[in-house]
Structure formats: structure tokens, C-alpha cells
Amino acid sequence: MRRRLAFARTPTGMLGLVLLVLVLGIALVGPLFAPHAPDEPIGIPLTRPADGQPLGTDFLGRDVLSRVLWGGRSVLELAGAATLLAYLVGGTIGVFAGYNRRLADGVLMRGVDVMLSVPPLVLLLVLVTGAGTSEAILVVGVALVQAPLVARVVRTATLEQSIRGFVEAAVARGERTTAVLRREILPNIAAPIAADAGLRFTYSILLVASVNFLGLGLQPPAADWALIISENRAGLDLNPYVILVPAVLIAFLTIGLNLVGDAVARTLGRSSAGTVR
Amino acid sequence: MSEPALLVRDLRVELESGAAIVEELSFTVATGEIVGLVGESGSGKTTTALALLGYARPGVRIAAGSVEAAGRLIDGRDEGAVRPLRGRLISYVPQDPGNALNPALRVRSAIQDVLDEHAASRPGDVSVERALESVQLPASSTFLRRFPHQLSGGQQQRVTIAMGLACEPPVVVLDEPTTGLDVVTQARVLEEIERLRRERQLTMVYVSHDLAVVAQVADRIAVLYAGRIVEEGPAVEVLTRPRHPYTRGLVASIPDHVNPRRLRSMPGVAVGVGERPPGCAFAPRCAQRRDRCERELPELENVDARHRVRCFEWRETPPLVLEPPPEPALRREPGGALLRVEGLRAEYRSRQEVAVAANDVSFSIEPGGCVALVGESGSGKTTIARCVVGLHEPESGRILLDGAPLPGRASRRSLVARRRIQIVFQNPYDSLNPRHRVADAIARPARILRGLSGGDSRAAVERLLERVRLPVRVAERFPGELSGGERQRVAIARALAANPDLIVCDEITSALDVSVQAAVLELLAELRSELGLALLFISHDLAVVASIADWVLVLEQGVIQDEGPIHQVLSSPRNAYTRRLLDATPRLAV
Amino acid sequence: MLVFAGTEVLPGDAAGAVLGRSAAPAQLAELRAQMGLDRPAAERYLDWLGGLLTGDLGNSAAGFAEGSVRPIWGEISGEIGNSLILALLAAIIMIPVSLALGVLAAVRAGRPTDHAVSAGSLAVISLPEFIIGSLLILLFFSWLGILTPVSLIPPGESPLSYPKELVLPILTLLCASMAASIRMVRAGMIEALGTEYVQMARLSGLRERKVIGRYALRNALAPSVQVFAQNIQYLVGGIIVVEYLFAYPGLGKELVDAVAIRDVREVQSVAILIAAVYITLNIVADLLVVLLVPKLRTAQ
């Protein structure tokens, strides 16, 4: 346990952890403390903070504080689901492609090339045009964009391990493929994959939030930080808090994830060159 | 002897934490003399080589002492003053020329850069062409336009030597300049170095882990152990009548292909930086140890005017005794071969091309016999080993175990066949799963291949660890906590756990220090005689092979060039290629 | 070399197919014919490239014979120019600045300069553009009051005549893409500085300026080119959000608007156009890398 938390001893790691806990706390337990329902109008639109409405109201006169407290879950859930799905698909393909190079390698690299030839956001938008706006489409779309990248990372990690002596020794004593993967390979790729999963999650958040911001993901009246920013943009000069607070929260979330990820990577002795992009 | 060209006094180089890497280092090199600086991994030899040029790698600093080259002080703490002297007064020839040459610069630019830098101080008549000619490389315009990746390993190393000599510095530091080259190229580079010294009266420090190589070129030898010089003297004296027990052990652990002898290993492993004991660093491994050795640090004492040794008990060090190796217990039983390989052909296919790794290779191994496959890198020896254990499917040919043909892939072989043939890999750092404890690693084959229960396999682990001379407590360790030699022993124990008849040893000592190598070879010989185990021993090193095998096959580019009983092949080689390899293989002229 | 380029174009073909399939299966075949996807990939690619480079989209569009396509091209030609201005300006600033900062951080690795650059870039590296943009608007508009939150550029006029309107979009794009490139340049440079040939150069007495420039940077340049290509590609994607945020009349805003009203045809056209830019960047980067790395250059 001491080794696992070693990253928190670096100043940036600690800062990241604090930011992350703060934002996750607000997003997960925030609704319990919200004074109002997220879609309940309580006053004049776009008023500045006052008694009973510490962050003012939004463009429909709803309480900004309540909407912010309610609005963090969606991005975490959607991004989490997308990352999970991307790993389920991409991770499985990657492990098998890396272990048995002939089997799926050509197809896989081809898929990665295709995905890399289009900006992920454009791909998502095309998908939305074809299939409409829904949470499921958003999750599937983000997962689809990420799966080939996941597959590539997992494949490389698997490939690196599969040529090592202890794996060959297992093959030579005739162990089953599943046993080789489970006993010899997976435990050794867990660390780099965990690091990658952190990056993927951050990137999923970025994509989900961006699509929501463009108004092409979650639809009003949903309370979502990105959507709140988007729909209140015009009211910026009347009540800046309606933009500032959700923007800062999303910023803290991604910064926190990055700092923690970087600190973990550092304490694992890996280079911090890998980024989400 | 003329005046010293290089004067090193009380040099201390340490980590930023303050732990010394080398300390109390003093020696002199006379003009035109070559001093060999010998040490195993962790002895601080490369650190010393760099410090001679006033250079320390990041995280390391030159803390005390002085270096004088050709009368000028090389002060590593004053970068501005020392920089113009590097390459001009004292130059460096690196270990790995492939990585030491800037891949973006052509041969001409690489050397020209050095000449330009020292334009003000260097002799006026030097040139790129002259530098290349001095190392017998063509100064043609096509050669000058080559990039490093277009050169062979030997050419690359000559270019780095040319860079080092371009401004005609009086002193040159060579840092393992032939490690990584094949033996034939190594022999040529060594000749080159010898010639340059003769023609130019160059003063050289030759740093190496390989006592046999140093013996070829050095006039004097300094032996480093745990950051200190433990013995220093004329090469012949140090090699024939070593006074420090460590030097003696080192010499005794070096195999020789002309006069094969019983290798004597030293117990234990060298101490690392920061864990050095208060007294003599070698004391924990020393047979001549007294109480005093563990408390006090011995000074360098004079054996005679030119021979110094850092040992309280050096007078007690027995002379070297070289015994012949035990006669191989060749059991040519009428039952026939244990393993027979017939007309084996193996290929590697990529999209564009097919590379033949082995072609029409046939040989057989008797029960309890040891057959060695010898060849340089790319000769196909490892591929043959992989075919034998079922990791590489041969293109054609047969592999028979007790006369029964084996399927190409291990997964299709019978449990018994898989159990009877085991393999130990070259690299001890990846042959054990870092996530499994030693006990698990050893118990696994016993369970899978012999069907032992948990309790039985645990008992087997203890027995096997003893068998490979490791303490039983190692069972609960992870591989990351073990040294290279210990890991290789665990890998051998893992192979033994299957109770095999044949172990394929794929370059299993090439990543180890020579004293550790001797210990592993000793262990293998013992296993052979006690268990009747047969070995397929793969190596690039004829001297190593000579100390263990009874039958040898010489491979060149996948084809068997030569074959026969080891003594016959080594003492009267009929084949030209074998002869070339033998001539090039360095040996201790003892 | 052509074969090399050819394999690089192939994904574009496949990308077209994926786009078509996921967008509207019925129109895939039609689209392929329109876009001339049945022609050799390289030819098609050259068409795109030629059209893009000359800005002569009318001619390029004429290749697609269909009258109904033409209006789309007419509609977006101005936007293409506007977006290119945005992207190019951002790229022109991004490359030298991130190269300089990346090298500086690497040379000063472990010292305060490096810590500042590294921590700063790490913080912004995966901030969504709209967050950076929103925060910048709050800073420069709501707080300082010196810049406007939307880029009001009258239709038909060049954004270059309204430099003040360009500041915030470009600043946003820069923040988003520069952080990544600084970090990767730094990493590449640190790796190059740790090589044996750099040590050898120092041991040959070469001065530090030369060691850094001719030995380390020269070899770190090739990976850096790929980094820049990646980040300009990223910038192309990021432009969509930035244009939407600042209501900047460019291709990205056009795309979002088209998606919102489910104008399939237009989405396809714009998406493929963006993909073409993406692929072009890839090819240019790959060619540059080949030119920069002697080992690749002399491979034939």
C-alpha cells in the first residue's frame, strides 16, 4: 500500500490528488446538498449571486449552485462507461493481436490507421449526424474512437512481454494460451495499462464534454457542466459565475487526473512523455 | 621508463548522495605505455575512464583528486578549462560505436567537427583524410559521405578511434572498445590499437571487463574491485603470479580454449556502490580472510618496485595452479542418441523476405553428453535451440527424441517430451517472471510436467535450490531482488524441476561477469556428472565451450562448417572458418 | 517514395468508407462515385491536395459533376479560408515557441525553468478547448474588458482585417496544442541529450552550443516533426470547438451547424475535407521525417 501511494508524496501528485478528490466529491455527493432541484426555476434569469442563490441563476432562472452540484455526474459516468467499453473491445483485441501476431495484427493496425486519419471529434459528429443524439451513441462513439488506440497500446505492451524468456519458457512447457496470458503476461502489463487507462479516461472526459458543449450530446434540460457553459454563454456578462464555476470544475478534474497520472508514472519509473493526444 | 604521460592521484568519484563509486585511485602511465584497467560490473571502471577526461555522468561528480595528462591538469570541476583539452590532449574511444556516432552526421563531418573545435591548438597538418588513413580506413569521397548506419561494426569503431586520434592527442582512453564486436573484428581492432601505439608512442588506458582481451594489449594491469585498485603491476606478473586473492580468482575463472582447464569460481557477488563494507570490500568472498580484514582497509603495499597489492595477507596468496578439466564422462551407450536432429532447416519470414536461419543441420546428443553449438551472432545457433524445445517450427527436417520424431510446436508435443527437454535462456533479466516468487517459478514445471502436488513441489523447490547452491530463503524472493548469476541459477533450477534428460543452454553465461560465469559452468559440469544430464550448449565463446562440451559444431550463417570432438576441433582445426575464430579468440598467455 | 505515400493515402479511402457507412449507408455508393473514390487513392489524394493548396475549390468540385453538390462547396469555400487562417496562424506560432520552450526545458532539466514549463504544460495539456476558451473569455472580456467573446467577422471579408477578433480563438488553440508539443519536444530532447553520441561529442571537447544544436537537437528534430504534425492535426480537430465557441465563421462551426440540422450531405463533405487535411499533414510529416533521418533517407 505504501508503494502504491508513493506518488502522493510528490508535490504535484499531492496537488492532483486534492483536486481530484474535490471534484469527484462535488460530482458524486453534490446532489445530496443541492438546495433546489436542477430544473426548478427560482428567480429572475441570470442574476448575480445573492442570498439563497450563492452562484446566481442561469438563463432560465434556475439555481446555478444546484445545477452545478447535479451536473458533474453525467460527464464522469459517460466518460467512465466509454473508457470501460473501449477497454473491453480494444483491450481484448490488443492482447490477442500482441500475443498472436499473425492472427489479428493486420486488421488491427488497419483499424488504427483509419481512426487516426480522422479527428476523433469529427468522427463523433458524423456518428451523431447518422444516429442522432443520445447518451448511448455518445458512449459508443467515444469508445469507438478510443478502442483502436487502446488496442495499440495493449498490443505493444503484450508484444513486449510475449518475447521474454519466462513467457517462452511457459510456451515450451506447453501451457495453454489462456494460462500464459493470465499467469505470465497480464500481471506484467497491468501497470502500463493502468497508466494508459488514466489517460484514456481523461481524453474521454474531454470528448464527452466537448460534444455536450457543442449541444450534440446530452440535451437540455439535463444538468451537465459542459452543457451549462454552452447554454449560458450569452449571459456571460450578466452572471459570469454560471460559466466560471463549471469551467473551473472541469479544469480541476482534468488537471487533477493529469497530475496524478504523471506522478504515478514517475514513481513507476516511466517517462512522462505519454500524453492523451 | 620515460616520464609519466598520465598521472592520477587520489581520484574520488561519487554519486550525488555521497556514496563513492571509485576512491583513492592513483596510478601513472608512462609515455607510450598501455595500462589495462580491469574490473567486473559495478567496479567503477567506466566511471574512472570518464573521470580521466574530467567528465562525470549526470548524478555523478568528481569529488577529489587530480588527473594530469601530458603535464596539464584535467580538472573536472572546471568545465570551461577542461573542455578544450578533451580530444586535444586526452581523447576517448567509446564502448559502443553504433550508439556513439551521431546518426545524422556523415563520416567526414563527424571527424571534421573534432578538428574544427580544436583548430587553434591542434597541429596544422592534420586532416580528416589523415585521421582515416591512420586507422586504415579509405579516405575516398564515397566513404567520407557515409552515415554511421552504412558502416560495419568494425568500421564504426575505427571511425570513433579516428575521431579520438584526429587532433593527435598524446593520451587516449579506450573504454571497452571491442565489447559487442565479434571476435574476428575484435582481433583486428586490437591489432590496430597495438600498431598505433607503436607508431605514435601513444599513451593509452584500456578499460575492460575482459582480462583475456587486456592481456593482449596491456603492458601493465590495474585490477579494480568495488571502486578501488586492488592490484597493479606488470601484465605478465599480475596474470601469472597474482597476489590479491580477487585477481587470483579472476584469472582462475577465465576459460581458455587452447589449454582447457578446470575453472575455479569465487563465492558470492561483488558489492554494489553504497553497500561497501568498512574493511576490505573483498573480505566477504575471500578465503584468506582474517578478522582484521573486516575492520580495516588495507593500503596498497609494494610487492616489488613495480607491483602493488591491496591486501594484508598477500604473502599468503597461493600461486596459481591450473588443473586440466575433469575428463568428460562420455557414455557412448549402445542405446543410441537421446536427441537426434536431421536435416533441420529453419527460416524467418517477414513480408518482404525469407531469412534462412539454419540449413541442413544434423547432429545428435548422447545421454549425458554435452554438444556445443558455436557461432557468431546471426549464425543460427539460437534458432536451432528454439527448434529443439518447440518454440520455432522448422521448415523441414526432423527432431527425434529417443528415435521418435517430435512435432514442431511444443503445444503439440507429448507431456513426456516437454518434460524431458528443458531450456535456460540467455538473458537472466527476463527469463523469470518478475511477478512470481522464485518458489512459484520453480514449482510450476514440477506441477505441470510432473504432476506433483503442492506439498511435493514445495519440497522439490527446496531440494532444487540446494542443488543449484542457492540458500533456501531465496524461495520467497522475487527475481528483482536477485543478481544476474542468482537468477540464472533459479532458471537452471526451474529447468531441473521437470526432471529433464536434456537442458538446452542458450548463451546462458554471456550476460554474466566472468567470475559468475565460472560458477555457473562449474554447476553445469556437476549436474552432468551427478545427474547424467545431457546439455545442448549454445555459445559464441570458444573458450567457454572448451571448458564444458565434449562435442562441438561450428556454425556460420546457418550451416555447419566444422564438427568433431572438442579437443580435436580446437587443437587441430581443419576448417578455415574454425581456424579464423580460434586465432581471433583472446586468451590469457599464462 | 511514391509507394510510401500511397500506403499513407490508403487509410483515407477506408476513412471515407467508414464515414459513409456510419453516416448514411444508402448514400455510400453514391458518395463514392461523387467523390471519385473508385479512382486510385493517390490520384484522388492529389486532387484534394491540389484543390486545397490552390484554393481553387470550384474546379475541384467540378470533378463531382453533380449539380446538388456544388452549392455546398460554394457555401463552405469562404469558411475553408477562414479556418485555414486560424489554423495556420496558430501553427506558425506554435512550432517555434514550443520548440524553443521544449528545448529550454530539456537543457535545464530538473531546474526551476524546467519545472515551470513542465508543470504549466501538464496542467493545460488535456483541458478541453471550450474550457480554455471560456476561461480566457472571462479573463479578457468580463474581467479586463479588452477583447470580445465572439468573433464578429462579416461574411465575405477576410478575418485578417479583424486581427483583434482573432486573438482569443488563436490563443485558445495555442494553449490546447502547445502544451502537448512542448512536453514531447522536451522528452525527445532529453532522450537525445542522454545518448552516447552526445556524451561522445562532449568527450571530444565540442562546445555545449554545438553539442545541443548539432548533436542533440538535430536528432530530436525528426520525432519533433511528428509531434508537430500530431498537434496540428489535433488543432484541426480543436478548431471545431473553438469556432463554435467564438462563433467564428469557419469550417468547424459550419460542421456543427450542419450536424445540428442533420444535413448529412454537408457533414460528409466537411468531414472528408477535414480528414484530407489530416492525412495531408501525416504525409508531409512522414516525408519530412524521412528527409531528416539519414537512415530512412538512404534506405533505398
Sequential pLDDT tens for chain B (590 residues): 457 899 999 999 999 888 899 999 999 999 999 999 999 888 889 999 999 999 998 889 999 999 999 888 888 888 888 999 999 999 999 988 889 999 999 999 999 999 999 988 888 888 999 999 988 899 899 999 999 989 988 899 999 999 999 999 999 999 999 887 888 889 988 998 999 899 889 999 999 998 889 998 999 999 999 999 999 999 999 999 999 999 999 998 888 888 777 788 888 777 777 788 888 999 888 888 888 898 889 999 999 989 999 999 888 888 887 777 666 555 555 567 899 999 999 998 776 678 889 999 999 999 989 999 999 888 889 999 999 999 999 999 999 999 999 999 999 999 999 999 999 999 888 899 998 999 999 999 999 999 888 889 999 999 999 999 898 889 999 998 888 889 999 999 999 999 999 999 999 988 888 888 998 998 999 899 889 899 999 999 888 998 889 899 999 999 999 999 988 888 888 899 999 989 888 887 65
Give the integer Cα–Cα distance in Å for C234 and A205: 16
Confidence of residue C91 (pLDDT cuts 50, 70, 90): confident
* Interface size, chain A vs chain C, as Cβ–Cβ contacts under 8 Å: 175
Question: In this complex, do A165 and B431 lie within 8 Å of one another by their Cβ atoms?
Answer: yes
Nearest 5°: the CA angle A179, A182, A185 is: 110
* Residues written for chain B: 590
Chains that touch B (3 or more CB pairs under 8 A): A, C
Residue B72, phi-psi category: left (phi > 0), alpha (psi -120 to 50), beta (remainder): beta
Question: In this complex, do A247 and C135 lie within 8 Å of one another by their Cβ atoms?
Answer: yes
Which pLDDT value is given to residue A103? 57
User: Which helix (DSSP H) or strand (DSSP E) does residue C100 occupy?
Assistant: helix C70-107
The residues that bridge with B60 in the sheet, in sequence order, are B15
C293 touches chain B (CB under 8 A): yes
> Residue A223 in 3-state DSSP?
coil
**Mean pLDDT estimate for chain A:** 83
Which pLDDT value is given to residue B555? 93
Q: What residue of A is the nearest CA neighbor of C259? A: A129
- Give the strand order in the sheet containing B60-69: B20-30, B4-15, B60-69, B72-74
B92, amino acid identity: Y
Enter the pTM of the model. 0.81
Which pLDDT value is given to residue C52? 43
> Residue C82 in 3-state DSSP?
helix
Which pLDDT value is given to residue B267? 80
Q: For residue A247, what are the CA distances in angstroms to A27, A208, A228, A230, C128?
A: 13, 14, 9, 10, 10
For residue B135, give how far its alpha carbon lies from the nearest alpha carbon of chain C (Å): 18
C256 pLDDT more than 50: yes
C27 touches chain A (CB under 8 A): no
A219 within 8 A of A213, measured Cβ to Cβ: no
Confidence of residue C86 (pLDDT cuts 50, 70, 90): confident
The residues that bridge with A151 in the sheet, in sequence order, are none
* pLDDT tens digits, C167-183: 888 888 888 888 888 98
The residues that bridge with B173 in the sheet, in sequence order, are B92, B205
Kind of pairing between the strands at B228-234 and B307-309 = antiparallel
Give the integer Cα–Cα distance in Å for B412 and B393: 11
Confidence of residue C120 (pLDDT cuts 50, 70, 90): confident
Nearby residues of B423 by Cβ (< 8 Å), 6 or more positions away: A168, A169, A172, B385, B389, B391, B495, B503, B504, B505, B506
H helices present in A60-176, as ranges: 64-70, 73-86, 92-99, 101-116, 120-131, 135-162, 165-172
Which pLDDT value is given to residue A261? 84
Average pLDDT over residues C242-262: 84
Question: In this complex, do B427 and A165 lie within 8 Å of one another by their Cβ atoms?
Answer: yes
For residue A15, give how far its alpha carbon lies from the nearest alpha carbon of chain C (Å): 11
Give the integer Cα–Cα distance in Å for C284 and B468: 58
Give the integer Cα–Cα distance in Å for A183 and C278: 41
The residues that bridge with B12 in the sheet, in sequence order, are B64
C45 pLDDT more than 60: no
Question: In this complex, do B94 and C199 lie within 8 Å of one another by their Cβ atoms?
Answer: yes
Q: What residue of A is the nearest CA neighbor of C116? A: A12
C11 pLDDT more than 90: no
Nearby residues of C42 by Cβ (< 8 Å), 6 or more positions away: C2, C5, C6, C9
Give the integer Cα–Cα distance in Å for A85 and B172: 61
A173, amino acid identity: R
Give the integer Cα–Cα distance in Å for B195 and C281: 54
* pLDDT tens digits, A139-189: 998 998 888 888 888 988 898 888 889 999 999 998 988 899 999 999 888
Which pLDDT value is given to residue B327? 63
Average pLDDT over residues C53-72: 40
Give the integer Cα–Cα distance in Å for B380 and B559: 8
Give the integer Cα–Cα distance in Å for B374 and A2: 49
Give the integer Cα–Cα distance in Å for A73 and A30: 9
User: Residue B173 — φ and ψ, nearest 5°?
Assistant: -105, 120
Query: What is the distance of C-alpha B102 from the center of its chain?
Result: 26
Which pLDDT value is given to residue C9? 36
User: Which helix (DSSP H) or strand (DSSP E) does residue B12 occupy?
Assistant: strand B4-15
| Closest to B442 (Cα-Cα) out of B428, B425, B414, B463 | B463
Within 8 A of A182 by CB-CB distance, chain B residues are none
Q: What residue of A is the nearest CA neighbor of C244? A: A214
Confidence of residue A223 (pLDDT cuts 50, 70, 90): confident
Q: For residue B494, what are the CA distances in angstroms to B129, B423, B434, B482, C245?
A: 56, 9, 14, 15, 64
DSSP letters spanning B384-425: HHHHHHTSS--SEEEEEETTEEPPSSGGGS-HHHHHHEEEE-
C117 within 8 A of C178, measured Cβ to Cβ: no
Which pLDDT value is given to residue B563? 92
Q: Out of A120, A128, A229, name the one closest to residue C130 (CB).
A: A229
Confidence of residue C50 (pLDDT cuts 50, 70, 90): low
Which pLDDT value is given to residue A128? 82
Question: In this complex, do A119 and C19 lie within 8 Å of one another by their Cβ atoms?
Answer: no
- Grid coordinates in use for A121? 471529434
- Give the strand order in the sheet containing B534-539: B421-424, B502-506, B534-539, B370-374, B551-556, B559-565
Top residue of A7, A15, A121 to mutate, by most chain C CBs within 10 Å, is A121
B279 within 8 A of B268, measured Cβ to Cβ: no
Give the integer Cα–Cα distance in Å for B421 and B503: 6
Give the integer Cα–Cα distance in Å for A20 and A249: 10
Question: In this complex, do B163 and C200 lie within 8 Å of one another by their Cβ atoms?
Answer: yes
- Quick check: bond before C11 cis, omega within 30? no
Q: Out of A168, A175, A187, name the one closest to residue B435 (CB).
A: A187
Average pLDDT over residues C28-55: 46
Nearest 5°: the CA angle C258, C262, C263 is: 60
* pLDDT tens digits, A47-71: 787 777 778 777 787 888 888 888 8
B89 within 8 A of B170, measured Cβ to Cβ: yes
Q: For residue B198, what are the CA distances in angstroms to B41, B192, B245, B521, C243?
A: 30, 10, 33, 38, 74
Nearby residues of B143 by Cβ (< 8 Å), 6 or more positions away: B107, B132, B137
Percent of chain A with pLDDT over 70: 88
- Grid coordinates in use for B496? 531441473
Within 8 A of C191 by CB-CB distance, chain B residues are none
Confidence of residue A123 (pLDDT cuts 50, 70, 90): confident
Nearby residues of B21 by Cβ (< 8 Å), 6 or more positions away: B13, B14, B15, B44, B47, B60, B227, B273
Which pLDDT value is given to residue B440? 93
Q: For residue C131, what are the CA distances in angstroms to A229, B150, C152?
A: 9, 50, 20
Q: Out of B88, B103, B106, name the one closest to residue C219 (CB).
A: B103
